[in-house]
Structure 1
């Protein structure tokens, strides 16, 4: 699962990307973190890993990983090929969600492309380009689907209905993600159309160092906008986070305390992006490693096992499960078993966030 970082030029997008992908990344543990220059891997901070390691001594702790793509800055006219328009649009089409970096800081030394900082105008600039690109895509797809539907193809008829629904929303100047879907299958069908504005968005307000809580007027306007869309805002000072990413752990903690933070804002951002993608973690724990595994919310036991190895899903028999809270209470897996708190679940089990698992399988 990937999230794409987007934003206008000079909003701090690349600074944020570089800070995210350098903080806590060890190349020997994450060999895929430099697939290409604009792709990176980010560990998702999770205190439960440290809790598990406290009771189950292990050689290595491996967090969940979020993949990020630093997408070329967009400008007006991108939908018509201006700037890196087509390249931008093809990259954003391939990600699962969008982290939209919005400039909420004043700095005379960093020129704004429109001459003045206005976060809502900036958001609307990018939304407009994405909506124009979607309209072009929808119009092309509708004509093709209508031709197929004339032959009586039920799938094509359904596709026409969905495309017409999306076109109506886009014609009103609204992104496709604003369509209210009571039926989860309809949401999946719309996502399957691969429209840019159907993707979930997390706004990242790039703030000044004297407003680390994001209480300034620029951020408040972004929050109001996100609230209208049912979205979320994470305030981040990209410049400060870039400095923190270059420090060792002791110096980083000292600097965090000096500015009144308990953890880097990037940790909050990584967790928010993880949630935005509809992901959750389960854990495996043993002498060699404690590891967080990434699964979609709603995944079954066999599907979760398949993340470790496809053979595990194919030969799934059952999974033994307990919670991190159980481990804290009983302090060992042996004591959890003796207390009768170790659950045995079958193929229909829906995984819960934070499950600690032992899978039994037969291939």
Structure 2
């Protein structure tokens, strides 16, 4: 509700400025006013703007306003450790999903106490802890992936002599624009992108030399659509 109230305050202030401008003789934008009143009506009914249908023109107008309640929503159910991976947990998640079926909302379950304990363990200890509980991975990983999917985000990697770095971009971004996320000079002087998928890299023993021997490292042009997990070396010249 806090996000809805923040958006409502934004709309009311904008309508107030519009009204003050009209008193000074400035003619208001009637299309914008109608749209703001539509927002106001929904928000006063405590309805998030993500749950309202808008046409293409209305969606374009909304982008400049940066509403908070248009953002995707995730409901996290915090369970007791004993309830993880049980019929009770599945039933609770289904009940919440059914309750929220008319909203653009995703639901995930986890045990906050357990996640905190896992985060404090070394990697090997954490793996053993999860294996004992027959859990494939921490719920935090699932939550991160879900968040990325809802926001239409992916990550690609660059590898240097002393560091590996992940870069977050929008799904569907071309290699040229992805290069610009690292540095504008790389985008401006883009020549080619050397690309290998993460799984291909791991299957090659996590060795770039072996990947090259197998012919798995490929050259892509500026229009290549970057995929999640791609490892990329950008060739450029300025």
Q: How far did residue 137 of structure 1 move?
A: 2.3
Q: Quote the Cα distance in structure 2 between the aligned partners of 1:291 and 1:133.
A: 35
Give yes or no for contact 1:303–1:313 (8 Å, CA) kept in 2. Answer: yes
Secondary structure, aligned partner of 1:332? helix
Q: Cα–Cα, structure 1 residues 163 and 316, in superposed 2: closer, same or farther, change >3 Å? A: farther
Tell me by how many angstroms 1:181 deviates: 4.2
1:304 matched to 2:178? The reply is yes
Q: State the partner residue of 1:137.
A: 10
- 1:295 Cα deviation after fit: 0.9
Higher helix share: 2
The residue aligned with 1:342 is 218
Q: Corresponding residue for 2:149?
A: 275
Structure 2 length normalisation: TM-score? 0.78
1:253 matched to which residue of 2?
A: 127
Counterpart residue number, 2:68: 196
- Relative to structure 1, is the Cα distance of residues 181 and 322 closer, same or farther in structure 2, using a 3 angstrom cutoff? farther
Contact 2:158 2:233 in 1 (8 A): yes
Deviation at 1:245, TM superposition (A): 1.9
Aligned to 1:164: 37
Number of corresponding residues: 229
Match of 1:213 among 85, 110, 117: 85
Query: Does the Cα contact within 8 Å between 1:324 and 1:356 map onto a contact in 2?
Result: yes
1:314 CA displacement:
3.1
Q: 2: CA distance between counterparts of 1:288 and 1:279?
A: 26
Q: Which residue of 1 aligns with 2:211?
A: 332
**Who is 2:159 aligned against?**
285
Unaligned runs of 5+ in 1: 1-126
Write the mapping of 1:219-234 to structure 2, written as runs, cut at 5 A.
Answer: 219-234=93-108
Structure 2 residue corresponding to 1:316, chosen from 155, 166, 190: 190
Shift of 1:298: 2.9
Q: What SS is found at the alignment partner of 1:240?
A: helix
State TM-score, norm by structure 1: 0.54
Whole-angstrom distance in 2 between the partners of 1:243 and 1:135: 39
Q: How far apart are the structure 2 equivalents of 1:187 and 1:213?
A: 40
Q: Which has the larger radius of gyration?
A: 2
For residue 256 of structure 1, report the CA deviation from its aligned partner: 1.4
| 1: CA distance, partners of 2:153 / 2:63 | 16
Task: State the 1:175 CA deviation.
Answer: 0.8
Instruction: Classify 1:298/1:180 alpha carbon distance in 2 versus 1 (closer, same or farther; 3 Å).
Output: farther
Aligned counterpart in structure 1 of residue 113 of structure 2, from 236, 239, 242:
239
Q: SS in structure 1 opposite 2:167?
A: strand
Give structure 1 regions of 4+ aligned residues with deviation exceeding 6 angstroms. none
When residues 315 and 186 of structure 1 are mapped into structure 2, their CA distance, relative to the original with a 3 A threshold, is farther
In 1, the alpha carbon distance for the partners of 2:68 and 2:59 equals 14
Superposed displacement of residue 267, structure 1:
1.5
The CA RMSD measured in Å over matched residues stands at: 3.1
